[in-house]
Structure 1
Amino acid sequence: MNSEINNIILDHDTVVHKVRRIAYQIYESNVDEKEVILAGIDSNGYVLAKKLKSILKKISPIEPVLCRVEIDKKAPRNAIKTSLTPEEYIDKSVILIDDVLNSGTTLIYGVKHFLDVPLKQFKTAVLVNRNHKKYPVKADFKGISLSTSLHEHVDVILDKKPYEVFLK
């Protein structure tokens, strides 16, 4: 038996359920909004943002707008690129999305980027929240919280079926 199978944290059906639940939470916190910006951190965060957009379109009247956020995870202080211009998200509700919250480095630099413009509301969403952060950043919406060792790695597969989350 494959060792990865022994370490599955979330199977396909559970991932689908968690993503749907996060979409409902986003809707609930933006119930009065006409539009919400789903800013997915490239690459898996953006895949998650696309899945959330699809669900939000089905469950709510909110118009979800995708924004790809490119952060150099090895050098997060480098310039961050987004597929939307800052003018497109001024005074909007923005949700910064990533697959896994590890140390918080990627998320905190992503937050910093979006705070350069006035926003109506800013939240964060992750599928997996690991409980050892380097920075005081939290996920407002999360699929699952895990207490793992620093030596373990969480892999998230969202770009092909079956969706899975497993520990290596």
Structure 2
Amino acid sequence: MKKTKILNQQQVYHKAKRIAFQIYEDHSNENQLVLAGIAKSGFKFAELLKTYLEEISPIQVELCEVHINKKNPLNSDHSDLQVSSYKNKSVVIVDDVLNSGATLIYAVKKFLEVPLKQLKTAVLVDRSHKKFPVKADYKGLSLSTSLNEMIQVSFDPEVQVDLY
């Protein structure tokens, strides 16, 4: 398959910074915010968002990693954050790519078990192949792709987004 670079490192950083500004605008009255990155690339993108949020705002950002077992998603919603750390707070669930919405919907499930101030989602790339009623509140790039194509987000060694 032919590999096409969609976003280079500078473009990814620009989109992340823009999303950080949007998150700050929506949460400017908050003292604390939880960024819940979906394991691997979603978590790395959440780390990048946290860096920018801390540069541009006084909001204290807590970061956690959410693990989803795609073979058994109903029993895999653990994170490295205690419930008391996000109860009655604003949470943004972060992933690299929104395909069908399955991963985000299972991640959302964990956070709906306790009262929250607000729950939002952020993705770097939204492919719009939704099977579940979930949307990205913050997105870096909306991209129309075929179901046969694949998006890969790389954070090591260089940040980039490729289409296969």
Does structure 1 residue 43 correspond to structure 2 residue 25?
no
Number of aligned residues = 164
**Unpaired runs of 5+ in structure 1?**
none
**Structure 1 residue aligned with 2:161:** 165
**Cross-structure match for 2:67:** 70
Corresponding position: 1:15 with 2:12: yes
Supply the distance in 2 between the matched residues of 1:147 and 1:71 (Cα, whole angstroms).
25
Correspondence for 1:132: 129
- Give the Cα separation in 1 of the matches to 2:157 and 2:117: 34
RMSD: 1.2
List structure 1 runs of 4+ shifted beyond 4 angstroms.
none
TM-score using structure 2 length: 0.96
Distance 1:75 1:119, change over 3 A: same
Normalised TM-score (structure 1): 0.94
Conservation of the 8 A alpha-carbon contact between 1:157 and 1:164:
yes
The percentage of aligned residue pairs carrying the same residue is: 53
The superposition leaves residues 102-141 of structure 1 with CA deviations (integer Å, 9 ceiling, x where unpaired) of: 1100000111110000000100000000111110100000
In the alignment, structure 2 segments of 5+ residues that lack a partner are: none
Q: 1:110 aligns with which of 107, 111, 120?
A: 107
Q: Who is 1:54 aligned against?
A: 51
- 1:41–1:98 contact (8 Å) kept in structure 2: yes
Match of 2:152 in 1: 155
